[in-house]
């Protein structure tokens, strides 16, 4: 989320209208207003979470309507309260009250217009877009059985037949065509609501959530991208010439972008499925985690137990019994569900769950750790006021689980009994390449999804150029191209869950940066003297205590203060940690790439 991705945040919503004040507002009134807001937010969000869980785990017209109805109620109430909060502008407030007031104003991902009819339409569009995506299937014309995203993704990951890959890619991207019309209207309504709250557009509202101005945030992500771009370019160069060796000049150009269907992932956002073809000689680490898990007959629940065990080793309490009875671990056979992995906080206290369709492989082993990171974060901040029950910034929520997953090293696998002995360090290039094919390959995609949406929301990209702009950005940042000609009848952005699901995406780019920065900091706290990519904080209580301290802060402090807790005082996001982590690989890639063209036309 995602790859694994992820925690799906529909708007953090809610609230009831306070009585209109005729006199100038006071500090006491502001504090009372925030207290009411926290109480009402919690009440309405629990109602919506229950309905949305039901919808996501049983997609029907009825469950979609119910979720849309409660979503509309939440969005409308939250928007109304956010507008009322403006009444206290200019009033000198205590720091705690002022921060919660700010978070309230920025708590929406889709601000509903004041007009009730428009607000209801916005909620309906959100439910319908996600429903179209969740029920999407490709039905071949030759009468073969229809295939859902899971089926098509397996083809993309495993097939090496360009024609079969192209058919799977085209089949899935066709499901998003009906979403296009909905999305055009969604942008109009969402922008209307954002402007009523005082923002230029929805994109500006999203970029205001990072304890800096929207303009500063856009520059910040560009700065981080420039730090990692050389590493990505080295990886892209290597992958392209290796694919040319396999498929030939007619399929993979020497200097152009790589065709998206060849990269092992439906959105070409992660390339780990290609590792067998790309692995360096003599780099086999001597084990295959997927084969080990299946040989041990590990089931879906046991996969989750491994993740729980990791957090327990750091000093965290076990997951509550309801987690095990209420989560969705497997895809049901009797109903449609959203299989996209996500973590849920139903009552914003102890009723935490994950929703996955777990497969027994190394990727889902890591995904489980990622999703549990959300759940443990949610439980650590449960005692804060509701407006603080969130991560320091949304990149933090995505980073925590992956920070832990970086500790899934060979040494860790030995400690938990899945591996007899760790491979020697001369096998590290293979291990680093396999990880880079997911982590480094993801970076430009993590950035460009919201760059596209920011332009769409601002009007810089009109509906008539949605698809053209999408592929322009994918070429600019990723160096990938569609396998077949695309037109504006297509809506390829909608084939990625987070667009119809209205989930901001730059959080995943931040998470990809922050996880390495946090891993470096926690490894230093654990006094790890190995190379950064060999460090694991498993069983280290000192690192666990610092992680626990940061999680318990929730959103109560600006994110630089939270970051400093686990990075020995560092308060700026810094991509040098990912560069340090992959430094041996970068050196090796540049040696292999000598004489090969870099970049794309």
Question: Annotated active-site positions, please?
Answer: 340-341, 370-371, 374, 398, 498, 508
Q: Give 476's contacts (C-beta < 8 A, 6+ positions apart).
A: 448
- Interatomic CA distance for residues 548 and 377, integer angstroms: 8
Do residues 80 and 87 make contact, with C-beta atoms less than 8 angstroms apart? no
Do residues 464 and 209 make contact, with C-beta atoms less than 8 angstroms apart? no
- Report the DSSP pairing between strands 342-345 and 352-355: antiparallel
Cβ count near 460 (within 10 Å): 11
Q: Crossing angle for the helix pair 506-525 and 394-405, nearest 10 degrees?
A: 50
Do residues 272 and 164 make contact, with C-beta atoms less than 8 angstroms apart? no
Angle at 510 between CA 507 and CA 514, to 5 degrees: 130
If you count them, how many residues does the chain have?
601
Do residues 398 and 6 make contact, with C-beta atoms less than 8 angstroms apart? yes
- Interatomic CA distance for residues 495 and 466, integer angstroms: 13
- Interatomic CA distance for residues 580 and 336, integer angstroms: 43
Q: Is 219 helix (H, G, I), strand (E, B) or coil?
A: helix
For residue 253, CA distances in Å to 234, 414, 472, 595 come to 17, 42, 18, 16
- Interatomic CA distance for residues 108 and 193, integer angstroms: 10
Residue 328 phi/psi, 5° resolution? -105, 110
Q: Give 545's contacts (C-beta < 8 A, 6+ positions apart).
A: 315
Q: Is 407 helix (H, G, I), strand (E, B) or coil?
A: coil
Do residues 454 and 203 make contact, with C-beta atoms less than 8 angstroms apart? yes
Do residues 95 and 72 make contact, with C-beta atoms less than 8 angstroms apart? no
**Is the Cα dihedral 174, 175, 180, 183 positive or negative?**
negative
Q: Is 309 helix (H, G, I), strand (E, B) or coil?
A: helix
**539: region left, alpha or beta (phi > 0 left; psi from -120 to 50 alpha):** left
Intra-chain end-to-end CA distance of the chain, in Å = 29
Pick from 273, 269, 271, 266: nearest CA to 173: 266
Side-chain-side CA neighbours of 597 within 13 Å: the count stands at 13
Residue indicated by tokens 């001597």: 286
Find how far residue 133's CA is from the centre of its chain.
17
Do residues 99 and 43 make contact, with C-beta atoms less than 8 angstroms apart? no
- Interatomic CA distance for residues 400 and 391, integer angstroms: 10
Residue 518 structure tokens: 């946090």
């Amino acid at each position: 989320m995602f790859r694994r991705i992820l925690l799906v945040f529909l708007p953090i919503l809610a609230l009831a209208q306070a009585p209109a004040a005729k006199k100038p507002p006071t500090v006491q009134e502001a504090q009372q207003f925030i207290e009411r807001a926290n109480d009402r937010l919690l009440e309405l969000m629990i109602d919506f979470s229950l309905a949305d869980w039901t919808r996501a785990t049983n997609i029907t017209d009825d469950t979609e309507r119910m979720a849309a109805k409660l979503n509309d109620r939440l969005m409308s109430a939250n928007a109304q309260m956010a507008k009322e909060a403006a009444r206290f502008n200019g009033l000198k407030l205590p720091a705690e009250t002022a921060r919660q007031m700010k978070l309230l104003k920025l708590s929406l991902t889709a601000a509903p217009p004041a007009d009730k009819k428009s607000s209801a339409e916005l909620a309906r569009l959100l439910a319908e877009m996600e429903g179209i995506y969740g029920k999407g299937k490709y039905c071949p014309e030759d009468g073969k059985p229809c295939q859902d995203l899971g089926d098509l993704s397996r083809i993309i990951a495993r097939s090496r037949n360009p024609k079969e890959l192209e058919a799977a890619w085209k089949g899935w991207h066709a499901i998003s065509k009906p979403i296009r019309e909905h999305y055009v209207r969604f942008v109009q309504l969402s922008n209307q609501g954002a402007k009523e709250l005082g923002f230029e557009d929805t994109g500006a509202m999203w970029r205001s959530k990072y304890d800096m101005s929207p303009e500063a945030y856009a520059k910040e992500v560009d700065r981080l991208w420039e730090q990692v771009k050389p590493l990505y370019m080295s990886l892209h160069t290597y992958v392209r010439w290796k694919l040319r060796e396999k498929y030939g000049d007619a399929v993979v150009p020497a200097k152009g972008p790589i065709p998206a269907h060849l990269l092992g992932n439906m959105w070409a956002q992660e390339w780990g499925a290609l590792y067998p073809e790309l692995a360096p000689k003599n780099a086999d680490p001597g084990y295959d985690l997927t084969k080990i898990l299946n040989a041990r007959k590990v089931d879906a629940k046991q996969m989750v137990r491994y993740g729980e065990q990791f957090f327990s080793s750091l000093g965290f309490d076990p997951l509550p019994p309801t987690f095990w009875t209420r989560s969705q671990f497997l895809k049901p056979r009797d109903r449609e569900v959203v299989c996209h992995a996500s973590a849920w906080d139903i009552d914003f206290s102890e009723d935490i769950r994950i929703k996955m369709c777990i497969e027994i492989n190394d990727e889902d082993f890591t995904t489980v750790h990622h999703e549990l990171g959300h759940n443990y974060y949610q439980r650590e901040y449960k005692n804060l006021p509701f407006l603080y029950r969130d991560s320091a910034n949304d990149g933090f929520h995505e980073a925590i689980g992956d920070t832990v997953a970086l500790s899934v090293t060979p040494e860790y696998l030995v400690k938990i009994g899945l591996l007899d002995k760790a491979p020697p360090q001369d096998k590290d290039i293979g291990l680093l390449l396999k990880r880079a094919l997911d982590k480094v390959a993801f970076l430009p995609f993590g950035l460009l999804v919201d760059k596209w949406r920011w332009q769409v929301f601002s009007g810089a990209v009109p509906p008539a150029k949605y698809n053209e702009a999408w592929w322009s950005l994918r070429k600019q940042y990723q160096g990938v191209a569609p396998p077949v000609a695309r037109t504006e009848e297509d809506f390829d952005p909608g084939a990625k869950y987070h667009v119809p699901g209205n989930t901001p995406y730059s959080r995943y780019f931040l998470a990809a940066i922050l996880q390495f920065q946090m891993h470096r900091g926690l490894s230093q706290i654990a006094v790890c003297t190995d190379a950064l990519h060999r460090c694991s904080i498993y069983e280290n209580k000192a690192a666990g205590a610092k992680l626990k301290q940061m999680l318990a802060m929730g959103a109560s402090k600006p994110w630089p203060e939270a970051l400093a807790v686990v990075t020995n005082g560092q308060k700026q996001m810094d991509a040098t940690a990912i560069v340090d982590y992959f430094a041996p690989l970068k050196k090796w890639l540049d040696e292999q790439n000598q004489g090969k063209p870099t970049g794309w036309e």
